[in-house]
Amino acid sequence: MDDTISADQAYRLARDGVAMLWRGDFQNARQLLRALDRRIPTAPAPTFQEHRQNQARRARLLAKVLVLLDSDYRLDLGRAPDVRDACTEVYGDAVVPSVVPLRELLGVVGAHAWRRSGVHIPELHARIHPHYGVFSPIRGEYIRLVAEAPLPARTVAFDIGTGTGVLAAVLAHRGVKRVIATDQDARAVACARENLAGLGFKDRTEVQRVDLFPRGRAPLVVCNPPWLPVRPTSPLERAVYDPGSRMLYGFLDRLGRHLTRDGEGWLVLSDLAERLGLRTRADLLAAFDRAGLEVVGRSTTTPQHRRAFSLETPFHAARAAEVTSLWRVRMRVDTQRPATSRCL
């Protein structure tokens, strides 16, 4: 397929499940992808789940436009950019030629640009550099909550599901002497280590690849899980969606085993799932109770990102009314266990 194909022809082929290897001009391929996107029906979905199904169908159709990368990630197309560094960051060293969807390649290139420029974090007076597939901290309101909540101690803190390492960095910046950050995703672990070292916190922080908690206890345990209990449809979405609220409930259920006596858990969570009908406030409060936790404080903030104010955003009313909370919880007196391991 090359520059001679029309958008209508390409759309019919993609709709019929035909994959198309692009041989023409790279910039024309980008225009074709945008033209295909415009041709996909966009009827409003009544529920978030149906909206997600529509998005998945759109992604499958747009993935039918393919490009060939040679054995060192060069694109042999007219007006093609140099994508070698971007692809190496994501795929590793090239060995043989490969075919990838153009839409995916554009995402890889965009992620490379984000990684190089970074995201400014006012609370750190510095920039955080997200890697491909790691949630970017572009919604600064939740970071501000962690930067302003009263610290129960400055000895040790755990940051569960650290992602880019931004919250671990905020805690270190606030004077916590040792911060242990965890994540089960290898890309997130590498990203957090790089950011924490670049910010000068390498000697006071440690990043472990584990599922949720490290060993031991701490007087402060922080977690900002993915906010929507929806099944991801790609590896990239695992940083955004938490199917069945697995991470949320796993954090709450096991928190008591990792808090020192009178220690606090900080749960940073949006109520967007509640407003979309994916989880209820009663579910959350019941999870606190089931884990033997009591709420000792709660601070809130409202979104500042542009999608909250755009009438064209799907489910605009829910996004505009969204509230993000930092829940401060402790073990109830009747459920506290004797401390069997010392604070790390």
CB 65 within 8 A of CB 105: no
Listed residue (116, 159, 122, 160) closest to 138, CA to CA: 122
- Alpha-carbon distance of 42 to 278, in angstroms, equals 22
pTM: 0.91
pLDDT digits (tens, 9 = 90+) for 137-164: 988 899 999 999 999 999 999 999 999 9
Query: What is the model's pLDDT at position 343?
Result: 43
For the chain, list residues with pLDDT below 70.
235, 305-313, 336-344
User: 186 phi and psi, to 5 degrees?
Assistant: -60, -35
> Partners of 205 in the beta sheet?
179
- Alpha-carbon distance of 58 to 35, in angstroms, equals 13
3-state class (DSSP) for residue 187? helix
Provide the pairing of β-strand 156-160 with 126-128.
unpaired
Alpha-helix residue ranges (DSSP H) falling in 2-94: 7-15, 26-39, 48-62, 84-91
CB 223 within 8 A of CB 160: yes
- Alpha-carbon distance of 303 to 305, in angstroms, equals 6
Q: CB 228: neighbour CB atoms within 10 A?
A: 20
- Alpha-carbon distance of 334 to 315, in angstroms, equals 42
Listed residue (98, 124, 104) closest to 64, CA to CA: 104
Q: What is the CA radius of gyration of the chain?
A: 22
3-state class (DSSP) for residue 297? strand
- Alpha-carbon distance of 83 to 72, in angstroms, equals 10
The Cβ-side half-sphere exposure at 18, using a 13 Å CA radius, reads 10
pLDDT digits (tens, 9 = 90+) for 298-338: 999 998 766 555 556 677 788 889 999 999 999 998 876 55
Alpha-helix residue ranges (DSSP H) falling in the chain: 7-15, 26-39, 48-62, 84-91, 102-117, 140-148, 166-173, 186-198, 246-255, 272-275, 281-290, 316-321
Helix axes 26-39, 102-117, angle to 10 degrees: 110
Q: How is 54-78 classified by DSSP, letter by letter?
A: HHHHHHHHHTTEEEEE-TTS-B-ST
Please list, in sequence order, all residues whose beta carbon lies within 8 angstroms of the beta carbon of residue 49, skipping any fewer than 6 positions away. Answer: 230
Listed residue (253, 263, 288) closest to 341, CA to CA: 263
Query: What is the model's pLDDT at position 304?
Result: 78
